[in-house]
A and B are shown apart, each in its own frame.
Chain A
Amino acid sequence: MKKNRAATDDPPLLRYLLCGIAFVFIGLFLALPLLVVFSEALAMGLGPVWAAVTDPDTLAAIRLSLLAAAIAVPLNTVFGIAASWAIVKFDFPGKAFLVTLIDLPFSVSPVVAGLIYVLVFGRQGWFGSWLTDHDIHILFALPGIVLATIFVTFPFVARELIPLMSDQGREEEEAALSLGASGFATFWRVTLPNIKWGLLYGVLLCNARALGEFGAVSVVSGHIRGQTNTMPLHVELLYNNYDYVGAFSVAALLALLALLTLALKSFLEWRYADELAAVHRH
């Protein structure tokens, strides 16, 4: 049976060709790299994977990564809410410029992000000698790692909330305020319920990047095994020591986390499409 084709439908040959190209391209560049991680980790069975993941240095790296994310993500979340409240609910000169500045960390190389903190806090940096005199450690210690993580994940929550809150307008809050609700009650009971899924979406992406950041953290961490190595840095260390099973085991842990993030993200896009910024509704 031959079906009638609409004028804007592609002929079957073109369709198969384009689908084929898409599958091969995605396979070569996305699917196979993901498969390699798990296949290399499991190359010698589950035993070595368990040994690598429960190694004290790995556990220290996991703890450090979780700690850095636990500080960076809430701070950037508070910032994202404050920035989007100021930008959406008020009119002031220089607003567009402020939005551009908030996006800036996304276009800066992670290595440059690490470098700037070295120039501020390093031994030859602005506060270098003062910090040495007072025995305060920022570089090659937790504060530096946290700062670098904050920088690279800086825009995630804000850039999710600004378009979403702009779409929603100001009327609902205006109604609450004119009925006598306090500012905090208005935010807590009107704004927050409206933006909660968008907020979660932003926090999810922020968290994934915070746990996975490599370049910026690599510059400021000092790579002290068991002390200032985060999970991605530990992967590098194991890999460079030719411990491939170990490296890919920790990498598989990070890949599982990435897959979980993607699954949650797809779920939010599917279930709460109307409550996310318009770009994610598809």
Chain B
Amino acid sequence: MTAATIFSRSTRSRFPGFGLSLGFTLFYLTGIVLVPLLALVLRPFSLHLEDFWAAVSAPRVLAALRLSFGMALAAAAIDTLFGFVVAWVLVRYRFPGKRLMDALIDLPFALPTAVAGIALSTLYAPTGWVGSVLAQHGIKVAYTPWGVLVAMIFIGLPFTVRTLQPVLQDLGRDLEEAAATLGATRPQAILRVVVPMMLPALLTGAALAFARGVGEYGSIIFIAGNLPMKSEIAPLLIVTKLEQFDYAGAASIGVVMLAASFVLLLALNGLQVWAAKRR
């Protein structure tokens, strides 16, 4: 500590490679990420603002945005609920197959989205293992907007489980004990003591799953049916517009989605600050 204070003036010189490492970092970040993103952000300014609004507020674009954001919200809610159950089971219980279940959670991270897409689509199609059972009850999932939901649940699940698991692990049991001593039943203790303590982690996991769902493309396009106004997600509409060489239209939707990413990133940073304060 004393050495550190004495030499604090020479911190920079003691560790070598500041210029090189930061210089390369900034160069690479600017070239790969920032400049191309700037090309997208500046694109709408090259048209008239009315044209940008016209492109974004076209009924087909609005329907696609509504579908992407609405279904991502629903999927994030479902992933948070079931992710909590899965994390709870993995942290608190011992049962056969636990290691396997734990490893399987990361499957959506590792499995290419196109593979997930054709697998989910086959599974939930009216002829598939799950789809045929659902079809007997008159429920259609594949090639409808519900297919979008299924794919988004798949892709978002690891985000909620992996956010909740370490927090649940570190959670002391003394408050639950106190609740039990004061006469709370087990479900009461979980719902009214554990869940409020987990709130930052629950929201963080939900926000991560939502962010992933909104932008997801590969696993959805195979199962969704992709009907304009009905089951067409916003990223697919960007691709469609690019294929028609409508760069301005594609960029306009892209800017809206990028803005949403920024807002989510800020919200996530805010959540982290909040969680740190509560600890």
**Which residues of A approach B to under 8 Å, CB–CB?**
7-8, 10-11, 14-15, 18-19, 21-23, 25-26, 28-34, 36-37, 40, 75, 78-79, 82-83, 85-87, 89-92, 98, 100-105, 107-112, 115-120, 122, 124-126, 147, 150-151, 154, 170, 173-174, 177-178, 182-183, 186-187, 205, 208-209, 211-215, 218-219, 231-233, 235-236, 239, 244, 247-248, 251, 254-255, 258-259, 261-263, 265-266, 279, 282
Q: In the assembled complex, how far is the CB of residue A194 from the closest CB belonging to chain B, in whole angstroms?
A: 15
**Contact between A37 and B119 (Cβ–Cβ < 8 Å)?**
yes
**A10-B92, A19-B93, A116-B39 are contacts. A107–B154 as well, Cβ < 8 Å?**
no
With A102-B29, A125-B247, A213-B112 known, 5 other A-B pairs at CB within 8 A are A22-B90, A110-B113, A116-B37, A218-B218, A266-B103
**A83-B25, A90-B15, A110-B235 are contacts. A30–B104 as well, Cβ < 8 Å?**
yes
**A111-B215, A235-B115 are contacts. A33–B154 as well, Cβ < 8 Å?**
yes
In the assembly, what is the distance between CA of A14 and CA of B190, in Å? 11
Q: Flag B13-33 by CB within 8 Å of A: 1 or 0 each.
A: 011111011101100110011
**Contact between B261 and A119 (Cβ–Cβ < 8 Å)?**
no
Partner of A282, one of B101, B106, B165, B211: B165
Q: Which A residues are CB-close (under 8 A) to B211?
A: 107
Partner of B123, one of A32, A100, A236, A265: A32
Q: Which B residues are CB-close (under 8 A) to A22?
A: 82, 85-86, 89-90, 101
Q: Which A residues are CB-close (under 8 A) to B130?
A: 28, 32
- Which B-chain residue is minimally distant from A171 (CB atoms)? B4
**Contact between A36 and B33 (Cβ–Cβ < 8 Å)?**
no
Verify if B143 is at the interface (C-beta below 8 Å from A): no
Q: In the assembled complex, how far is the CB of residue B111 from the closest CB belonging to chain A, in whole angstroms?
A: 4
In the assembly, what is the distance between CA of A260 and CA of B100, in Å? 13
Q: Which B residues are CB-close (under 8 A) to A205?
A: 109-110
Q: Binding site of A, secondary structure by majority: helix, strand, loop or mixed? A: helix
Verify if B192 is at the interface (C-beta below 8 Å from A): no
Partner of B17, one of A85, A236, A261: A85
Q: Size class of B's contact patch?
A: 35 or more
Partner of A116, one of B36, B82, B180: B36
Q: Binding site of B, secondary structure by majority: helix, strand, loop or mixed? A: helix
Q: In the assembled complex, how far is the CB of residue A74 from the closest CB belonging to chain B, in whole angstroms?
A: 13
Partner of B176, one of A7, A105, A122, A211: A7
**Which residues of B approach A to under 8 Å, CB–CB?**
11-12, 14-18, 20-22, 24-25, 28-29, 32-37, 39-40, 43, 82, 85-86, 88-90, 92-93, 95, 99, 101-116, 118-120, 122-123, 128-130, 150, 153-154, 157, 165-166, 169, 173, 176-177, 180-181, 186-187, 189-190, 211, 214-218, 222, 235-236, 238-239, 242, 245, 247, 250-251, 254, 257-258, 261, 264-265, 269
- Which A-chain residue is minimally distant from B4 (CB atoms)? A174
Q: In the assembled complex, how far is the CB of residue B248 from the closest CB belonging to chain A, in whole angstroms?
A: 9
Q: In the assembled complex, how far is the CB of residue B29 from the closest CB belonging to chain A, in whole angstroms?
A: 6
**A8-B177, A212-B113 are contacts. A151–B22 as well, Cβ < 8 Å?**
no
Partner of A30, one of B32, B88, B107, B242: B107
In the assembly, what is the distance between CA of A100 and CA of B90, in Å? 31
**A107-B261, A254-B115 are contacts. A183–B109 as well, Cβ < 8 Å?**
no
17 sampled A-B residue pairs with Cβ under 8 A: A14-B187, A82-B25, A107-B215, A109-B216, A110-B217, A112-B258, A115-B242, A120-B35, A125-B247, A151-B32, A151-B33, A154-B33, A208-B110, A215-B217, A233-B114, A265-B110, A282-B169
**Contact between A86 and B92 (Cβ–Cβ < 8 Å)?**
no
**A82-B21, A109-B215 are contacts. A11–B118 as well, Cβ < 8 Å?**
no
Q: In the assembled complex, how far is the CB of residue A150 from the closest CB belonging to chain B, in whole angstroms?
A: 6
Q: Which B residues are CB-close (under 8 A) to A110?
A: 113, 215-218, 235
